[in-house]
Structure 1
Amino acid sequence: MGDAVTATLRLGVIGAGAMGTDHVRTITTAVPGATVTQVHDRDAVRANQVAQRAGGEVAASAEELIGSDEVDAVVVAAPDATHAGLVLACIDAEKPVLCEKPLAVTAQDALRVVEAEVAYGRRLVQVGFMRRYDPGYVRLKETLAAGDLGDVRVVHNVHRNASSATSATGPGIITGSMVHELDTVAWLLDDQVVGIRVESPVKDGLPDPQLATLEMAGGALATVEVFVNARYGYDVRCEVVGTAGTAALARTPSVSTRTAGVEGVEVASDFVIYFADAYRHELAAWTRAARAGGVDGPTAWDGYLANLVAEAGVASLASGTRQAVAAAPRPTLYDGIR
Structure 2
Amino acid sequence: MSDLRVGIVGVGVMGADHAERIVRKTAGARLVAVSDADLARAEALAGALSVGSTSLAGSVRVVEDPLDLIAADDVDAVILASPGFAHAEQLFACLEHGKPVLCEKPLTMDAESALRVVEAEHKVGRQLIQVGFMRRFDPEYAALKQLLDSGELGRTLVLHNVHRNKSAAPTFRSEMIVRDSMVHEVDVARWLFDSEITRITVRTPQPTSLVADGVLDPQLALFELANGAMADVEVFVNFQVGYEVRCEAVAERGSATIGLGSGVFTRAGGQWGGAMPADFRVRFEQAYDIEVQRWVDATVRGEIDGPSAWDGYAAAAVCEAALESLGSGRPVDVTLADRSKVLG
Task: Indicate yes or no: 2:279 matched with 1:275.
Answer: no
Which residue does the alignment assign to 2:74?
A: 70
Deviation string, structure 1 residues 289-318 (Cα, Å, up to 9, x no partner)? 111233221000000000000000000010
Which residue does the alignment assign to 2:37?
A: 42
Deviation string, structure 1 residues 9-41 (Cα, Å, up to 9, x no partner)? 000000110000000111111110001000001
Residue among 80, 83, 88 paired with 2:92: 88
The worse-fitting range, judged by mean Cα deviation, of 277-286 and 194-203 is 194-203
Q: Equivalent residues in 2 for 1:99-248 (5 A)?
A: 99-165=103-169, 168-202=172-206, 205-248=214-257
**Which residue identity is paired with 1:312?**
A
**Structure 1 residue 53, shift from structure 2 partner:** 3.2
Q: Equivalent residues in 2 for 1:318-333 (5 A)?
A: 318-331=327-340
Deviation string, structure 1 residues 61-117 (Cα, Å, up to 9, x no partner)? 101100111100000001110011111100000010000000000111101100100
Which residue does the alignment assign to 2:55?
A: none
Q: In structure 2, do the counterparts of structure 1 residues 277 and 126 end up closer, same or farther at CA, with 3 Å as the change threshold?
A: same
Which residue does the alignment assign to 2:5?
A: 10
Residue among 317, 321, 330 paired with 2:326: 317
Which residue does the alignment assign to 1:60?
A: 64
Task: Indicate yes or no: 2:23 matched with 1:19.
Answer: no
Q: Contact 1:95/1:293 (CA < 8 Å) preserved in 2?
A: no
Q: In structure 2, do the counterparts of structure 1 residues 13 and 254 end up closer, same or farther at CA, with 3 Å as the change threshold?
A: same
Following the alignment from structure 1 to structure 2, what is the Cα–Cα distance between the partners of residues 146 and 316?
35
**Structure 1 residue 169, shift from structure 2 partner:** 1.6
Following the alignment from structure 1 to structure 2, what is the Cα–Cα distance between the partners of residues 57 and 199?
46
Following the alignment from structure 1 to structure 2, what is the Cα–Cα distance between the partners of residues 294 and 167?
37
**Which residue identity is paired with 2:231?**
A
Following the alignment from structure 2 to structure 1, what is the Cα–Cα distance between the partners of residues 271 and 338?
55
Query: Secondary structure at the residue paired with 2:263?
Result: coil
Q: Contact 1:167/1:176 (CA < 8 Å) preserved in 2?
A: no
**Structure 1 residue 156, shift from structure 2 partner:** 0.2
Q: Equivalent residues in 2 for 1:253-272 (5 A)?
A: 253-255=262-264, 264-272=273-281
**Which residue identity is paired with 1:122?**
R
The worse-fitting range, judged by mean Cα deviation, of 14-23 and 48-57 is 48-57
Following the alignment from structure 1 to structure 2, what is the Cα–Cα distance between the partners of residues 154 and 305?
20
Which residue does the alignment assign to 2:316?
A: 307
What's the TM-score once normalised by structure 2's chain length?
Answer: 0.91
**Structure 1 residue 7, shift from structure 2 partner:** 2.3
Query: Secondary structure at the residue paired with 1:240?
Result: strand
Q: In structure 2, do the counterparts of structure 1 residues 263 and 237 end up closer, same or farther at CA, with 3 Å as the change threshold?
A: closer
Consecutive unaligned residues of structure 1, counting only runs of 5 or more, are: 1-5
Q: Contact 1:301/1:334 (CA < 8 Å) preserved in 2?
A: no
Deviation string, structure 1 residues 163-199 (Cα, Å, up to 9, x no partner)? 1128722211111110010011100111110000000
* Greater relative contact order (CA < 8 Å, ≥ 6 in sequence): 1
* Number of residue-to-residue matches in the alignment: 330
Deviation string, structure 1 residues 117-171 (Cα, Å, up to 9, x no partner)? 0111110000000000000000000000110111111100000001112872221
Following the alignment from structure 1 to structure 2, what is the Cα–Cα distance between the partners of residues 176 and 244?
34
Following the alignment from structure 1 to structure 2, what is the Cα–Cα distance between the partners of residues 325 and 333?
17
**Structure 1 residue 270, shift from structure 2 partner:** 0.5
Q: In structure 2, do the counterparts of structure 1 residues 32 and 293 end up closer, same or farther at CA, with 3 Å as the change threshold?
A: same
Following the alignment from structure 1 to structure 2, what is the Cα–Cα distance between the partners of residues 225 and 240?
15
Following the alignment from structure 1 to structure 2, what is the Cα–Cα distance between the partners of residues 262 and 248?
21
Consecutive unaligned residues of structure 2, counting only runs of 5 or more, are: 50-58, 208-212
Query: Secondary structure at the residue paired with 2:339?
Result: coil
Following the alignment from structure 2 to structure 1, what is the Cα–Cα distance between the partners of residues 228 and 115?
26
What's the TM-score once normalised by structure 1's chain length?
Answer: 0.93
